Structure 1
Amino acid sequence: MGPDLINGIPAHVLFVHFVVILVPLTALALILCAALPSVMRRFGLALPALALVSLISVPLTTNAGEWLERHVDSNALVRKHTELGEELLPWVVALFLAATAVWWPHHHTAHRTPEAGGSTSTVAIPLRITAAVLSLVVGVGAGVQVYRIGESGAKAAWHDAYSSTAHSNRD
């Protein structure tokens, strides 16, 4: 699906940075856009575009992680990280769908009625509240899952790999 190595470094170690930044950023943007129409007007197409890039980054990172998993010693920590990593895609799909659902009415309304300096939001208040609540649930869920995956990955990578006392590296 994607590269396994980049300049001799496992691609997963590099790609994971995109996921760690983009997914929480997308979640925050979604929550703000769903709750505040003025923010949605400023974001526009950037919201679903950001969600799409986040969505694309997850399978690339997961695929590279599966390659890496086959090339490291398997232990309970690696298996836990892998299991958690596999659970992120549904959250990011939900982020993308929610971002598109929040953006679409704004886009549709903005292009249907000419703007005269007023608000273009004709979405009913209960619908906006529902969208904001669902966006909050999906955004927080995705953010928490990224945190859990990152914590388990750090534990898998660093357990028994350092000492609490400093070593002198001078010869």
Structure 2
Amino acid sequence: MTTVAGLPAHALLVHAIVVLAPLTALLGILCAVWPAARRRFVWLVVSFAAVNLVLTPLTTSAGEWLYNSFPTHSAILETHEERGETMIYFSIALLVMALAVAFLHVRTVRSDATPKLTAVVVTVVAVVIGVATTVQVVRIGHAGTEAKWGVISE
């Protein structure tokens, strides 16, 4: 997919990732630390993580097409492209985190008690992956914005 209605597909798809990945991370952390939220949102988090994982290679592929459509590249655009290629690993980690939270949910529902160690490990995993994913989305997006619009001064 290269264009949609004449616009580069990357410009459209990237907005889904920019919203979906941090939202999934935040909801995943919330579900890990708060059982009431887990009961309500755990399957939504798994769904969001799966959609994010599907959209990531589509977005990077569209980005590669856009990147290759220009004969020269600035250093910041190359940085954006390199960082963007790493997003697939963060998307995979986000799905792993969502599945771990779902495992915690299922285990709690089936046994009415979850070992504290399991809950702590899932919570730590959720926080680490959630924060790392959000930071990486910001880093990728910042480099892309700077490549497109230049340095924005305050």
TM-score by length of 1: 0.83
SS in 2 for 1:45: helix
Over the matched positions of the two proteins, sequence identity in percent amounts to 40
User: For 1:107-118, what aligned pairs fall within 5 Å after superposition?
Assistant: 107-110=106-109, 112=110
Q: Which has the larger share of helix?
A: 2
Unaligned runs of 5+ in 1: 114-119, 165-171
Work out the number of aligned pairs and report it: 152
Amino acid at match of 2:97: A
Off by >4 Å, runs of 4+ in structure 1: none
CA RMSD between the two structures:
1.8
Where does the alignment leave 5 or more consecutive residues of structure 2 unmatched? none
Out of 127, 133, 140, which is 2:124 matched to?
A: 133
Structure 1, residues 10-57: CA drift from partner, whole Å, max 9, x if none? 000000000000000000011011111111001132121111011111
Q: How does 1:16-165 map to 2 (within 5 A)?
A: 16-72=14-70, 73-110=72-109, 112=110, 120=112, 122-159=113-150
Which residue of the partner structure matches residue 169 of structure 1? Answer: none
Return the index of the structure with the highest Cα Rg.
Answer: 1
User: Deviation per CA, 1:78-125, whole angstroms, max 9, x where unpaired?
Assistant: 110000101111111011011011102323553x46xxxxxx4x2111
1:133, distance to aligned residue in structure 2 (A): 1.0
Contact 1:44 1:107 in 2 (8 A): no
Q: C-alpha distance in 2, partners of 1:136/1:44? A: 15
